[in-house]
Amino acid sequence: MALRQTPLTCSGHTRPVVDLAFSCITPYGYYLISACKDGKPMLRQGDTGDWIGTFLGHKGAVWGATLNKDATKAATAAADFTAKVWDAVTGDEMMTLTHRHIVKSVDFTQDSSSLLTGGQDKVLRIYDLNKPDAEPEEISGHTSAIKKALWCSGDRRVLSAADDKTVRLWDRAVVSEVKSITFGSSVSSMEYIADGEILVITYGKTIAFYNALSLELIKSFDATAPINSASLHPEKDCFVAGGDDFKVYKYDYSSGEELESYKGHFGPIHCVRFSPDGELYASGSEDGTLRLWQTTVGKTYGLWKCVLPEELGSENSDAIYSSTPEVKA
């Protein structure tokens, strides 16, 4: 029984989309922010891809973007040597945090009181957002540009991935390295799952899962093409990945078996993430678009309407179930 997947295509960006993040589920649903080399990060409704607004103010490519838990604040990391914090409700810029080089990564603490940044100058910084004029805490140790920096373990520790082919775990209280792991090639992405303390790391063609507390390997799988990003489903039964061959893949987490693969983008995929309810996953590409894909094809959800065989008017088994969005986002 073949399943056809029709993604929602989110247009609006004019350059490659290099990072994306979902908020948690709020009373108003959940939200999606995208970072793009066009310098104009965008906020969307997470389940439909509907455009809400664009954050205007950066003077260079935006490399990283995130939302706090309740989607009231956004943070962006850019090539103009700044990280910015935004009011995600009004779109207003709240503060600009000046760095010495390109900023690649931003992450809020759970209470939104602090922001973690990392970038080309190899230094991790922790800003107290209640004291915008105060100097940030700095953590040094990486020998190349930092690609991703994330809070973990209840914001007591920090994880960082850099071009020096390492992922490092830091203790915030004593500002020291707890442990590091070295890879054979540069890490292309890193995702932290608080529920279960799981770290998802991609490098080369490998998708690896680590315990975030110990940095011990849980399991790893190899894909058929270089992978730029991967994301674990909230229920931990499957994961998705995307990379240089323009395809998004879904795998069984237990066995590593490929369950589905879809080609919709017209360029390498730079980032993939599951929504907080696990019903869909988003992908961002060199082609300048975001696409939203159903985790369970054929389910009525958001803008997707389940189409039954008799409605399709086809006896072809390839059309047993189809899932078609009502409108393009």
Can you give the residue range of the structural domain that contains 42? 15-187+230-296
In a domain, 117, yes or no: yes
CA distance 264 to 6: 9
Q: How many domains does the chain have?
A: 1
Q: Are 31 and 56 in contact (CB under 8 A)?
A: no
CA distance 157 to 20: 22
In a domain, 221, yes or no: no
- DSSP-derived secondary structure letter, 7: P
pLDDT at 319: 33
Name the burial class of residue 184, with classes exposed (0-12), middle (13-18) and buried (19+) by CB atoms within 10 angstroms of its CB: exposed
Q: Which CATH number do you get for residue 25?
A: 2.130.10.10
Collapsing DSSP to helix, strand or coil, 236 comes out as coil
Q: What are the pLDDT digits (tens) for 155-176?
A: 999 999 999 999 999 999 888 8
In a domain, 279, yes or no: yes
In a domain, 55, yes or no: yes
Collapsing DSSP to helix, strand or coil, 177 comes out as strand
Encoded tokens for 205: 């063609």
Encoded tokens for 295: 């985790």
pLDDT at 305: 83
In a domain, 214, yes or no: no
In a domain, 327, yes or no: no
Q: Which residues pair with 35 in a beta bridge?
A: 19
CB contact set of 152 (below 8 Å; sequence gap of 6+):
158, 159, 169, 192, 194, 197, 199, 212
In a domain, 307, yes or no: no
Q: Are 159 and 167 in contact (CB under 8 A)?
A: yes
Predicted model pTM: 0.92
Our measurement of the distance from residue 88's CA atom to the centroid of its chain's CA atoms, rounded to an integer in Å, reads: 18
pLDDT at 311: 46
Question: Which residue, 227, 288, 246, 233, is CA-closest to 35?
Answer: 288
pLDDT at 315: 40
Q: What are phi and psi of 317, to 5 degrees?
A: -65, -20
In a domain, 305, yes or no: no
pLDDT at 76: 98
Q: Are 164 and 140 in contact (CB under 8 A)?
A: no
Radius of gyration of the chain (CA): 19
Query: Mean pLDDT of all residues in the chain?
Result: 92
Collapsing DSSP to helix, strand or coil, 1 comes out as coil
CA distance 204 to 206: 6
pLDDT at 2: 52
Q: Residue 148: in which H helix or E strand, if any?
A: strand 146-152
Q: What are the pLDDT digits (tens) for 41-77?
A: 999 999 999 999 999 999 999 999 999 999 999 999 9
pLDDT at 329: 40
CA distance 62 to 43: 14
Ordered strands of the 176-182 beta sheet: 146-152, 157-162, 166-171, 176-182
Q: Residue 117: in which H helix or E strand, if any?
A: strand 114-119
Residues of the chain with pLDDT under 70: 1-2, 307-329
Q: Which residues pair with 258 in a beta bridge?
A: 251
